Amino acid sequence: MKQPVKPSDVSIRIGQQMTLTIRSLGINGEGIGYFKKKIVFVPGALPGEVVHAEITEVKDKYAAGRLLRVIERSQARTTPPCPVYESCGGCSLQHLDYQAQLLSKKELVVQSFQKYAGLQQPPVADTIGMDNPWGYRNKAQFQVGSKEGRLIAGLYQAGSHELVELQDCQIQHEATTAMVDAAKEVIEKLGIPIYDERKRKGIIRTIVARVAFATGETQLTLITATTEIPREKELILELRYRLPSLVSIVQNVNPQKTSLIFGDTTKVLWGKPTIAEKLGSLSFDLSARAFFQLNPEQTVKLYDQVKKAAGLTGTERVLDLYCGTGTIGLWLAPDAKEVRGIELIPEAVEDARRNAERNQISSASFHVGRAEVLMPKWAKEGIQADVVVVDPPRTGLEPALINALLQVKPQRIVYVSCNPSTLAKDVNRLLASYELQSVQPLDMFPHTPHVECIVLLTLRV
């Protein structure tokens, strides 16, 4: 009797060429095909296409290939408008029509729940997209380097140390592009040395440009390897002249040999230490290092979906876990009796408290600590949560926190996630006591494979 071929038995070698039918998209936007039941990832290939690929990597459970040519083309394939799309790596889905991107993100979420939560027909809604999926990023963070004797700024090519120049990034707000361009010209004109990572010499490492969508205020941050910037006064005057919307010029010092962008020391060179931004009726002061969502338009839609899932009537106590700077909790506070945020990072909690004070929201409080400790402690003291909102990092919920949720048993859990796989795994554990009511995907970052989800779980009766 002939034995079935196991994935590990399939012989694939590097350099081998093959024709594949692409079935779906992976979590990084790559096409997924199969060669004798072994999964093969092909970046640039789209579902429904037949492609010719060359194998570049072979592992036990999968192989990866380089797209050589498309034999049968998807109707959803489109020409990327970005001239450096192939080399940059910042986006990986510009070659896919936007409506098809939204469909593929929904399908990715469906597959995650099928695979990791054992739900064959999970209640996944259509992905909420953008009317105009361009120019949505409010912050540019570009490394600087030298090419043919001139200063360039951009991103490192994936898997390499090759700096790709971004002169006009289509997903960046036009104000951030103007700021980066002006900074490059002024730095070059004044002869301020750029940092050479190999020699560990020079001054300017990174240009960070941020715009407040609601107010139009802009902030430019220069990351330097030294505390002193030569011709600093001329630098400030030139930048102010070229960029009338600037209200803040900041220097951050990072002398370390590290992949981290920011160092520990930040000082204001000119103007205010913060820029003013709004989300709906909430207002925020953003310092150079303050976290803020990169796509304000979709953030409002995201928070509205959280509010819808929470189903608040004004009588509920809400716990906002992994609360960060408190934006979700403050968004919910007007419709809740009380909001309590929990966060491990003290600086974020301080920001959250300032944000509450700035917006005159007295019903929200923010606490430093571990949610799996504070939530059961409060429950024992009679402070029971009606609604718990969780917005964890990509790694998902800590097992101890899932256990605490199953112990405390709030009526509703609203889970905000940027990783469908860890989301589905965590939901699978919570199904011991909860019903999955809805899964709402939302596109925070068009033309990238990232998808945000808002999940509602209700306590079983």
Whole-angstrom Cα distance, residue 22 to residue 33?
Answer: 4
Q: In this structure, how many other beta carbons lie within 10 angstroms of the beta carbon of residue 425?
A: 18
Whole-angstrom Cα distance, residue 292 to residue 380?
Answer: 34
Angle, nearest 10°, between helix axes 420-430 and 399-408?
40
Residue 3 DSSP code: P
Whole-angstrom Cα distance, residue 274 to residue 283?
Answer: 12
Q: How far is CA 230 from CA 151, 237, 399, in A?
A: 17, 13, 51
| 418 part of the active site | yes
Whole-angstrom Cα distance, residue 28 to residue 92?
Answer: 8
> Choosing from 82, 88, 323, 418, which is the catalytic residue?
418
343 by Cβ neighbours in 10 Å (0-12 / 13-18 / 19+) ranks as: buried
Look up residue 450 and give its two tokens: 């990232």
E strands in 22-162 = 24-25, 31-35, 38-42, 50-58, 62-72, 139-147, 150-156
Which residues have a catalytic role annotated? 418
